[in-house]
Structure 1
Amino acid sequence: MYLFNVRVYGILVNENNEVLISDEKLSKVAFTKFPGGGLEYGEGLIDALKREFMEECELEVEVLSHLYTTDFYEKSSFNESQILSIYYQIKAVSPITFELKKSPFDFSNEKQQEKMEVFRFIPIADLQEDDLTFKTDKAAWNAFKRLQQK
């Protein structure tokens, strides 16, 4: 049996024209991606995205628009499932109170554990495709930039 892993992510741009990204470390694998995570059974995409932002950032978000859905085969980096990722442009509707880092993978204040996650804002003009680890995030970022040029 082949498994599908549905993921939902948010591209959040602040008033300074910066985009929120997440630096994560799972076991010994480090990666940079957009915040979000897995859809749970019985959950809709929008509800999953809002839940993920509350769990990861304690941040209420509003979905502005659908941005991108994976249109190519992508195997999970962590198991044998096929990844299907949906990206939305979102905005914060509550104040950002979580700690923001300036440097990539700055886990200096984090309790060492199996999974660590920190967040930082990067100016839209500075975020390059190669700054993101996963192919799906890169494709979503390119879709976002194309929309910005219109």
Structure 2
Amino acid sequence: MSYFNVRVYGLLIDPDKGLLISDEQAEGRNFSKFPGGGLELGEGLRDALKREFMEECEMEIEVLQHFYTTDFYEKSSFNESQVISIYYFVKALRPLELQMETETFNFRGDSKQSFRWMPLKDLKASDVTFKTDQTVVELLQKEIDL
């Protein structure tokens, strides 16, 4: 059985530090992506993104403008679903209190998630794992004119 997997992600950019990246481990696999995740039944996109940022980053955000929605076929790396990802620019409503890392996959304790800033001038599609995220990086590079 195939089905759609709707996901929503936030692009949090700090002018001095860069773009927030989440390094995670699930199902024995390491991957880098933007903060966000799956839409739950009965939830709107913006509410889902606010919930995901609260769950992952313990951060309240304001959801700004839409940036990109998947416009090609992408099969999930974890199941048989077709992934549709929606990306928004977001703004933190208070200073970030996360422990920031400088190396990828630098998990602490039992946590299987860590966060780091990626300077925009150094940003490459290969800094994120999934095809749609890589497309977003390429579009960001054009928009920001890196």
TM-score class, shorter: over 0.9
Question: Counterparts in 2 of 1:20-99, with a 5 A limit?
Answer: 20-99=20-99
Residues 49-108 of structure 1: per-residue CA shift (max 9 Å, x gap): 00000000000111221110000000000000000000011111122111111101101x
Q: Among the aligned pairs, what percent are the same residue?
A: 54
Q: In structure 1, list runs of 5 or more residues that go unmatched.
A: none
User: Is the CA contact (8 Å cut-off) linking 2:7 and 2:36 kept in structure 1?
Assistant: yes
| Residue number in structure 2 paired with 1:127 | 123
How many residue pairs get aligned? The number is 146
TM-score by length of 1: 0.92
Give, in angstroms, the shift of residue 140 of structure 1.
Answer: 1.2
CA distance in 1, matches of 2:103, 2:17: 18
Q: Which deviates further from its counterpart, 40-49 or 88-97?
A: 88-97
Give, in angstroms, the shift of residue 45 of structure 1.
Answer: 0.3
TM-score by length of 2: 0.95
Structure 1: which 4+ aligned runs deviate by more than 6 Å?
Answer: none
CA distance in 1, matches of 2:142, 2:122: 15
Q: In structure 2, list runs of 5 or more residues that go unmatched.
A: none
CA distance in 2, matches of 1:40, 1:148: 32
Question: What value does the CA root-mean-square deviation take over the aligned residues?
Answer: 1.4
User: Is the CA contact (8 Å cut-off) linking 2:17 and 2:117 kept in structure 1?
Assistant: no
